[in-house]
Amino acid sequence: MKKLQKILMVATAFMLAACAAEDAENSEEKLLQNDSPVVWIAEDDDSRLYMIGTVPLVPESSAWQTAEVMSALESAETFFFESDTRDSARAEALRLTAELGLYDGGDKLSSYLDDLQIKLLINAAADADVPRGTLENMKPWFAGEILSVAAAESAGLKVDIAPDTVIQEWAKLRVRKTEYLDDVDVRIRDMADLPQETQIEFLSNVMTNYGALGDSMKATALQWEKGKLSDLMRGQTNIYSQLPEADYEALLAKRNARWSKELTAFMEGSGSAIVVVGMPHLLGSDSLQYMLRENGYPVRRHRSKVAADTIEE
């Protein structure tokens, strides 16, 4: 039961792109090699906007607080996050997840699955050490998230050392201005509002790939930590990448289009800021940096002074 409660909490953290705060040590070797999460920068005469994409779970050995990341944090006066991850927001996210993610009236998950999918559910529940009866109470999107989190944790990924809330706490301690690009309910409703057949396809993909999913997410976290853009573009794996491709891309594009308006408004003013969002929002032709370029702002990869002379990937 304790394990299941932990998985439920971590799943909610995924919905908020949230993580608990704990410092990770910097690595001199990383600075020399310039292995670092990618940080982008858009700027004009009087505005500077850094952008970093994060992952919600990382290995215990992760050392992502590199010169590139820290120099961007130090320079930013305003911090834009996807959503609020304070305790009150987490409580609301848990309440809404239960409201939108659980069946009522005696309905159950397997009623909507075919025979093969039911077998996959039985096997995935056993592999994840999550009671099948618990999953039966969940709608397909929520069951898929719970199993994905279990796969990630089985691969040694940790929520308590991941970046998003570490950075939120860093900004809070330094009394930096904080803005939220979305309310806490947006991502939850995005998943809950998907058509039933899309939710089932998402769950089926998670169950089918369960044995390899954790290792794939771990590989993505390591590629992110080292800034391996080409690898990430080829096949980054996260919970939502198990959605049908069209739905996955539509969710990202919809949110990015909305966020880019707020970020463009910031650029029309003056000051310095950093955007901290999930990594997929900074990949591909619908990325935030692409939209900012379309709005007339040049975007380049940020390099710290320490690593300015290193070779691009």
CA distances from 196 to 36, 113, 201 (A): 39, 11, 9
Domain annotation covers residue 307: no
Domain-located, residue 312: no
Distances (CA, A) of 171 to 18, 71, 78, 166: 14, 13, 9, 9
The reported pLDDT for the residue numbered 241 is: 63
Domain of 155, in residue numbers? 2-301
Q: What's the number of domains the chain is made of?
A: 1
Q: What is the pLDDT of residue 97?
A: 94
Its pTM stands at: 0.83
Q: What is the pLDDT of residue 160?
A: 73
In whole angstroms, give the CA distance from residue 162 to residue 23.
9
Question: Per the structure block, which two tokens stand in for 92?
Answer: 């609301």
pLDDT tens for the chain, 313 residues long, are 555 555 555 565 555 543 333 333 333 344 444 589 999 999 999 999 999 999 988 888 888 999 999 999 999 999 999 988 777 788 888 999 999 999 998 899 999 999 999 999 999 999 999 999 999 999 999 999 999 999 999 999 987 777 887 898 899 999 999 999 998 888 899 899 999 999 999 999 999 999 999 999 999 999 999 999 888 887 655 556 667 777 777 788 889 999 999 999 999 999 999 999 999 899 888 899 999 999 999 999 998 765 444 434 4
Q: How far apart are CA 200 and CA 262, in angstroms?
A: 34
- Concatenate the DSSP letters of all residues of 235-302 into one string: H---GGGGS-HHHHHHHHHHHHHHHHHHHHHHHHS-EEEEEEEEGGGGSSTTSHHHHHHHTT--EEE-
| Number of CB atoms found within 10 A of residue 270's CB | 11
Pairing of strands 39-43, 299-301: antiparallel
Specify the pLDDT at position 305.
65
The answer as to whether 313 is a domain residue is no
In the chain, what percentage of residues exceed pLDDT 90? 62
The answer as to whether 306 is a domain residue is no
Query: 205 lies in a domain?
Result: yes
pLDDT digits (tens, 9 = 90+) for 158-212: 877 778 878 988 999 999 999 999 988 888 998 999 999 999 999 999 999 999 9
Instruction: Establish if 176 belongs to a structural domain.
Output: yes
How many other CB atoms are there within 10 angstroms of residue 141's CB atom?
23
Cα separation, 285 vs 283, whole angstroms: 7
Phi, psi of 75 (to 5 degrees): -80, -20
Pairing verdict, β 271-278 and 78-81: parallel
Q: How far is CA 142 from CA 62, 162, 219, 286, in A?
A: 28, 22, 24, 26
**d(Cα 256, Cα 239) in Å, to the nearest integer?**
18
Whole-number pLDDT of residue 76: 97
* Rounded Cα distance, 258 and 229, in Å: 24
Residue 48 lies in a domain: yes
Report yes or no on 123 lying in a domain.
yes
pLDDT of residue 231: 85
